[in-house]
A and B are shown apart, each in its own frame.
Chain A
């Protein structure tokens, strides 16, 4: 039989883990995409609209 405090602790614990997992996922996803964009930029590959802007 769990005490009431244990149910409260389990609820908050799971909430913290879920929220942290979400934040971590969004954060790492963003970093990985930013790195990909940078790698493309270094390879000289730019968006057509940016290229058009440079040509003008």
Chain B
């Protein structure tokens, strides 16, 4: 067998939903356990580290707000990669990944918006401003809701997969806009302070809980995403088996 066809076979092995189900069953307990452990450490650090000399206690909102905001963008990026998988490779799991990720992404975006608002009121003096960062994240939230609605509105999964894949890729333009909005425009929202040229501008006292919480949220995302993908595969199997049963029942009559 040539090396090339071996590589293709390995790739299609990964695309096998049955194999995915077996793998999901094996990794999910570990992922869930690790998520709980990381949240325990993260929450402990969040409430035992010192408050900020200017912001006081409200700095603790950062440990939820920033990871939720990162995850809202990462989830959309995962969906964009899956959309490529649907359109380019017709990977059978790609659309399953998109469908499972959308409600999770919408929840994280909602969390980023609400906690941002709760942080904005005491620190900026306002719950909301229509500046570039806040508006672009709000647009991301609307896109998630639109994708969920679109997927539910279309009966044929194959057609829904293609339409939402195109829409996701077009909407991906919003992700760099969110990331760089604080540099391109004059915003009330502060510019990046963790991932930036010249190193992090955050004191280690705040950086440790922030990073642990970010990893915890990331693990939470992957745990929920794999579990939701498994549910989606089961849902499709139930539908196709019912259809198959109805067809054979029709033939017997």
Cα A21 to Cα B234 with chains together (Å): 21
Asked whether B57 is an interface residue with its Cβ less than 8 Å from the other chain, the reply is yes
Cα A11 to Cα B235 with chains together (Å): 34
Q: Say whether, besides A33-B235, A45-B245, A8 and B60 are in contact (CB < 8 Å).
A: yes
Asked whether B148 is an interface residue with its Cβ less than 8 Å from the other chain, the reply is no
- Could you say which residues of chain A place their CB within 8 Å of the CB of B143? none
- Could you say which residues of chain B place their CB within 8 Å of the CB of A47? 237, 240-241
- Say whether A45 contacts B122, CB under 8 Å: no
- Find A7's partner among B119, B234, B242 (CB 8 Å cutoff): B119
Asked whether B151 is an interface residue with its Cβ less than 8 Å from the other chain, the reply is no
- Could you say which residues of chain A place their CB within 8 Å of the CB of B61? 7-8, 11
Cα A7 to Cα B107 with chains together (Å): 20
Cα A10 to Cα B228 with chains together (Å): 28
- Say whether A2 contacts B122, CB under 8 Å: yes
Tell me the smallest distance from the CB of A50 to a CB of chain B, in Å: 10
Cα A23 to Cα B64 with chains together (Å): 17
The prevalent SS among residues of B at the interface is helix
Tell me the smallest distance from the CB of B2 to a CB of chain A, in Å: 28
- Could you say which residues of chain A place their CB within 8 Å of the CB of B119? 7, 11
- Find B241's partner among A7, A10, A19, A40 (CB 8 Å cutoff): A40
Q: Which bucket holds chain B's interface residue count? A: 20 to 34
- Find A11's partner among B65, B104, B237 (CB 8 Å cutoff): B65
- Say whether A33 contacts B234, CB under 8 Å: yes
- Say whether A12 contacts B64, CB under 8 Å: yes
From 53 to 71 in chain B, residues with beta carbon under 8 angstroms from any chain A beta carbon are 56-58, 60-61, 64-65, 68
Asked whether B174 is an interface residue with its Cβ less than 8 Å from the other chain, the reply is no
Asked whether B231 is an interface residue with its Cβ less than 8 Å from the other chain, the reply is yes
- Say whether A26 contacts B228, CB under 8 Å: yes
From 222 to 237 in chain B, residues with beta carbon under 8 angstroms from any chain A beta carbon are 224, 227-228, 230-231, 234-235, 237
From 1 to 37 in chain A, residues with beta carbon under 8 angstroms from any chain B beta carbon are 2, 4-5, 7-8, 10-12, 14-15, 18-19, 21-23, 25-27, 29-30, 33-34, 36-37
Across the two chains, which residue of chain A brings its CB closest to B227?
A26
- Say whether B64 contacts A45, CB under 8 Å: no
23 A–B contacts from the bound complex (CB under 8 Å): A4-B56, A4-B57, A7-B58, A7-B121, A8-B57, A11-B61, A11-B115, A14-B114, A14-B118, A21-B107, A22-B103, A22-B107, A23-B224, A25-B103, A26-B228, A26-B231, A30-B231, A30-B234, A36-B238, A40-B242, A40-B245, A45-B242, A47-B241
A interface residues, Cβ below 8 angstroms from B:
2, 4-5, 7-8, 10-12, 14-15, 18-19, 21-23, 25-27, 29-30, 33-34, 36-37, 40, 43, 45-48
List the 8 closest pairs (A to B, CB-CB), nearest first. A33-B234, A4-B57, A11-B115, A11-B61, A36-B238, A15-B64, A45-B245, A29-B231
